[in-house]
Amino acid sequence: MSTDILQTPIDYLTGVGPTRAELLRKELGIHTYQDLIHLFPNRYIDKTQYYKVSQLQRNTAEVQIIGKIVHLKTIAQKKGKRLVAKFVDDTGSIELVWFKGQKWIQENLQLNTPYVIFGKTNYYNGFSMPHPEMELLSKHQSGFQIGMQPIYPSTERLSNRGITNRGISKMMQQLFLLLKGKFHETLSDDMIQALHLITKREAMLNVHFPKNQEILQKAQYRLKLEELFYIQLQLVTKNLIHKQKIKGFPFNAVGSYFNTFYTKHLPFELTNAQKRVLKEIRKDLGTGAQMNRLLQGDVGSGKTIVGLMSLLLAIDNGFQGCLMAPTAILAQQHYTGIKELLGDLDISVAILMGSTTTKKRREIHAALEDGSLHILIGTHAIIEDKVKFKNLGLAIIDEQHRFGVAQRAKLWRKNSCPPHVLVMTATPIPRTLAMSVYGDLDISIIDELPPGRKAIKTVHRYDSNRLKVFQFMKEEIQKGRQLYIVYPLIQESETMDYKDLMDGYESIVRSFPLPEYQISIVHGQMKPADKDYEMQRFVKGETQIMVATTVIEVGVNVPNASVMIIESAERFGLSQLHQLRGRVGRGAEQSFCILMTSYKLSNDSKTRLETMVRTNDGFEIAEVDLKLRGPGDLMGTQQSGVLNLKIADIIKDSDILKTARQYAIKILKEDPSLSDPKHIAIQHTYAQLTKYKNIWNYIS
Ligand code: ADP
Ligand code: MG
């Protein structure tokens, strides 16, 4: 079909005047014929199936039954009356009920004559069906057979203005008549054959007018695959272009810093996963293209050391490096930790944060510009324009979901040629989502914890068991352990949350009195210096209990802390709970996580708590999280286009996504410009797509 006709404004379709066109545009984003045929049904009503009364179940959607009415009566009720019929088949009976139009029905219904009825059932002391659609069996069999009836997405405003499902179906029929079934194929013959796909034409026809379940499924599969394939084609192309076009500094040398550190300073043997990831990074850094890599690893998997060793590679090659963390506490901790690891290596490291004094700042700026400072660690203070490097070669971003794309871009501009970028995140992104959201980044995964870690034991306790929990805390403190108690703080300004925190703190102070017990408290309304002081007391082991809001969520490392108590755990999201739990289990001792809640729990909260109790595996948790929340809430998805999918579902169709990605990679490797005649359909579709819909806008 010619593309031009598909670009026709929707106003031109018979039956769609200016008012309706305006509604379609506003409510469903339908501007053209093209948009309308890509409005896919949300669901279908299966009119190919007939139920027996005995097969009915509560909560089934619409059903179709063949039977007879044997009895009809009117029953008085509070307001007016209702008409009730007894409808039977050879397996049982149900009630049909009418609240309106009773006179007409009474006059026209034929008793003891076979009917096909259709509708939703209710259950109350037996099944009933209010206002069924009814047709005589004899007519039903001779008439036009509807297979699956499509139900299109709609809005209240649309149906109020008379654009009903039936209306949309009619428009669709009208449009298909006009198009005369002339659809160009959009995938290659190779793909169609290898994947046993039906043609584009068959797929479009059957997604809107399916004859039966089987063909509908084939149509949906084909269209989902196509949709995901073209997104992947774009992401993979982008990644390839990136590698060809964006030059990076080649780090050819593995020099003395790296080697000396590896042989003399590394306090432990790297895990195999850490070694593998380092190899991947070293390979990237040597290619001459800019590295743009995401490093995923569960909390405690040892990402920092991998980051540090990558920084050493930069220094060995005459470059500077920086490490950016989302909070001052974390930046401070990286600074202290890295200084300690480097020991007597003559590498200069500085820390820059919002609170850094002007005098210190000047020193840092100068040392960065003359190149005497090798590594700069800090918060987002380091991306300020004033901060200039002599020769930045590698930028590392820790816990990247706290930083936006714009901030990443700012780092890119810190050198004439963009520095290599390594993004480290402890929030595992399910593979399928990573493929769609970060399809243009390379991904490394540390999927192994350092040896000797004991799995954290997680339990769920109700608030009413608090005394027992306190007792347990005392026993652990007796053994020399430290513990965290965390309160939710959704918004730094929410006074309610502060009250919870302060009430909790007071009750803990009462139960754990001085001088036997020392307690730290850290929250967002404290001055950075005070926070830091309290944090350091805990790190040094001077206090046994750290009462905190979620400021400690990210990255804090106190190996002696072995108990994490999370108050109002039902208010936290899964990934946050998992992050918090990751603060313990860092030393050799058995660690515990106690999730405290009230008795009132939503189903989602229950699922979250059960998941936490069941598993420590961050990837498994991320999958559950994705299912509970959908992709909309997850980081990065807003820009990625995964929410604009018309037919595929990023969660349910992950297998199709994998297939689509494989094909995109295979085809682009073979034929990057898509100029091979066998890829003509793909090339053409791809060109159309980028012409009419600037998909790049929402992917980059
Ligand atoms: P994360 O991946 O959460 O950032 P860290 O880098 O903070 O984890 O590492 C957690 C702890 O594990 C640190 O104390 C670190 O020194 C230690 N660690 C890292 N790698 C290893 C290893 N291969 N063997 C033993 N301990 C390790
Ligand atoms: Mg970390």
Average pLDDT over residues 432-439: 66
Question: Is the predicted pLDDT of residue 493 greater than 50, yes or no?
Answer: yes
Q: Give the closest residue to 257 by CA, choosing from 208, 312, 217.
A: 312
Residue 443: Cβ-neighbour burial (10 angstroms; 0-12, 13-18, 19+): middle
Ligand 1 interacting residues, C-beta cut-off 6 A: 268, 270-271, 274, 297, 299-305, 426, 450, 555, 557, 586
Q: Which two tokens stand for residue 204?
A: 């479009």
At residue 513, the 3 state secondary structure works out as coil
What tens digit of pLDDT does each residue of 554-601 get? 556 788 999 999 999 999 989 889 989 988 988 888 999 999 999 999
Task: Please report which confidence band the pLDDT of residue 313 belongs to, taking 50, 70 and 90 as the band edges.
Answer: very high
How far from the centroid of its chain's Cα atoms is residue 361's Cα?
Answer: 39
In 3-state terms the chain splits into helix, strand, coil percentages (rounded to 5) of: 45, 20, 35
Candidate from 557, 589, 616 with most ligand 1 atoms within 8 A of CB, to mutate:
557
Q: Which domains does the chain have, with CATH numbers?
A: 48-145 (2.40.50.140), 256-285+302-425 (3.40.50.300), 457-615 (3.40.50.300)
**Nearest 10 degrees: CA dihedral of 550, 556, 562, 565?**
0
Q: Which two tokens stand for residue 554?
A: 């990210």
- Comparison of pLDDT for 524 and 73, the residue scoring more: 73
Asked if 321 and 315 touch (Cβ cutoff 8 Å), the reply is yes
* Ligand with the closest atom to the CA of 340: 1
Give buried/exposed letters for 522-558 (b at 16+ CB in 10 A, else e): bbbeeeeeebbebbebbbeeebbbbbbbbbbbbbbbb
C-alpha dihedral sign at 437, 439, 441, 444: positive
Q: Could you tell me where the DSSP H helices lie in 17-119?
A: 18-28, 33-37, 102-108
What tens digit of pLDDT does each residue of 619-633 get? 888 888 888 876 655
660: how many CB neighbours lie within 10 A of its CB?
26
Give the largest CA-CA distance in the chain. Answer: 100
How far apart CA 408 and CA 423 sit, in angstroms, is 9
Average pLDDT over residues 31-58: 89
How far apart CA 292 and CA 391 sit, in angstroms, is 18
How far apart CA 367 and CA 387 sit, in angstroms, is 11
Distance of CA 510 from the midpoint of ligand 2 (Å): 34
List, in order, residues 6 or more apart from 577 with CB less than 8 Å away: 566, 569, 595, 608, 612
Task: Please report which confidence band the pLDDT of residue 156 belongs to, taking 50, 70 and 90 as the band edges.
Answer: confident
| pLDDT at 629 (0 to 100) | 76
Candidate from 261, 271, 274, 304 with most ligand 1 atoms within 8 A of CB, to mutate:
304
Which run of H or E residues covers position 295? strand 292-297
β-pairing, 115-119 vs 133-136, is antiparallel
Task: Please report which confidence band the pLDDT of residue 255 belongs to, taking 50, 70 and 90 as the band edges.
Answer: confident
Helix axes 654-670, 213-245, angle to 10 degrees: 50
Task: Please report which confidence band the pLDDT of residue 536 belongs to, taking 50, 70 and 90 as the band edges.
Answer: confident
Q: Which two tokens stand for residue 355?
A: 């609170």
Distance of CA 299 from the midpoint of ligand 2 (Å): 7
Work out the mean pLDDT of the chain and round it to a whole number.
87
| pLDDT at 691 (0 to 100) | 65
What tens digit of pLDDT does each residue of 125-152 get? 889 999 898 889 888 777 555 678 888 9
How far apart CA 483 and CA 620 sit, in angstroms, is 26
- Comparison of pLDDT for 375 and 159, the residue scoring more: 375
What residues form DSSP beta bridges with 596? 461
Residue 442: Cβ-neighbour burial (10 angstroms; 0-12, 13-18, 19+): middle
| pLDDT at 46 (0 to 100) | 80
Distance of CA 558 from the midpoint of ligand 2 (Å): 12
* Ligand with the closest atom to the CA of 304: 1
Task: Please report which confidence band the pLDDT of residue 1 belongs to, taking 50, 70 and 90 as the band edges.
Answer: very low
Question: Is the predicted pLDDT of residue 651 greater than 80, yes or no?
Answer: no
Task: Please report which confidence band the pLDDT of residue 401 belongs to, taking 50, 70 and 90 as the band edges.
Answer: low
Task: Please report which confidence band the pLDDT of residue 274 belongs to, taking 50, 70 and 90 as the band edges.
Answer: very high
| pLDDT at 696 (0 to 100) | 36
Question: Is the predicted pLDDT of residue 661 greater than 60, yes or no?
Answer: yes
Distance of CA 461 from the midpoint of ligand 2 (Å): 29
How far apart CA 531 and CA 523 sit, in angstroms, is 7
List, in order, residues 6 or more apart from 655 with CB less than 8 Å away: none
How far from the centroid of its chain's Cα atoms is residue 486's Cα?
Answer: 25
Candidate from 268, 276, 324, 454 with most ligand 1 atoms within 8 A of CB, to mutate:
268
| pLDDT at 340 (0 to 100) | 94
Q: Give the closest residue to 491 by CA, choosing from 550, 409, 574, 420.
A: 550
Asked if 288 and 250 touch (Cβ cutoff 8 Å), the reply is yes
Q: Which two tokens stand for residue 348?
A: 């200069």
Average pLDDT over residues 385-396: 94
Predicted TM-score (pTM) of the model is 0.66
* Percentage with pLDDT > 70 across the chain: 91
What's phi and psi for 298, nearest 5 deg?
A: -60, 160
Question: Is the predicted pLDDT of residue 496 greater than 80, yes or no?
Answer: no
Going along 399-518, which residue ranges are E strands?
Answer: 420-425, 442-446, 457-462, 482-486
How far apart CA 544 and CA 519 sit, in angstroms, is 6
* Ligand with the closest atom to the CA of 337: 1
Q: Which two tokens stand for residue 319?
A: 């470059």
| pLDDT at 342 (0 to 100) | 95
Task: Please report which confidence band the pLDDT of residue 346 belongs to, taking 50, 70 and 90 as the band edges.
Answer: very high
Distance of CA 524 from the midpoint of ligand 1 (Å): 27
Average pLDDT over residues 109-123: 91
Question: Is the predicted pLDDT of residue 398 greater than 70, yes or no?
Answer: yes
Question: Is the predicted pLDDT of residue 453 greater than 60, yes or no?
Answer: yes
Edge-first strand listing for the sheet containing 442-446: 349-352, 375-378, 320-324, 392-398, 420-425, 292-297, 442-446
How far apart CA 441 and CA 639 sit, in angstroms, is 14
Average pLDDT over residues 62-83: 90
How far apart CA 634 and CA 553 sit, in angstroms, is 17
- Comparison of pLDDT for 313 and 694, the residue scoring more: 313
Average pLDDT over residues 292-321: 93
Question: Is the predicted pLDDT of residue 2 greater than 80, yes or no?
Answer: no
At residue 403, the 3 state secondary structure works out as coil
What tens digit of pLDDT does each residue of 81-97 get? 899 999 999 999 999 99
Q: Which atom of ligand 1 is nearest the CA belonging to 446?
A: 2
| pLDDT at 697 (0 to 100) | 35
* Percentage with pLDDT > 90 across the chain: 50
Question: Is the predicted pLDDT of residue 345 greater than 70, yes or no?
Answer: yes
618: how many CB neighbours lie within 10 A of its CB?
25
Residue 611 amino acid letter: T
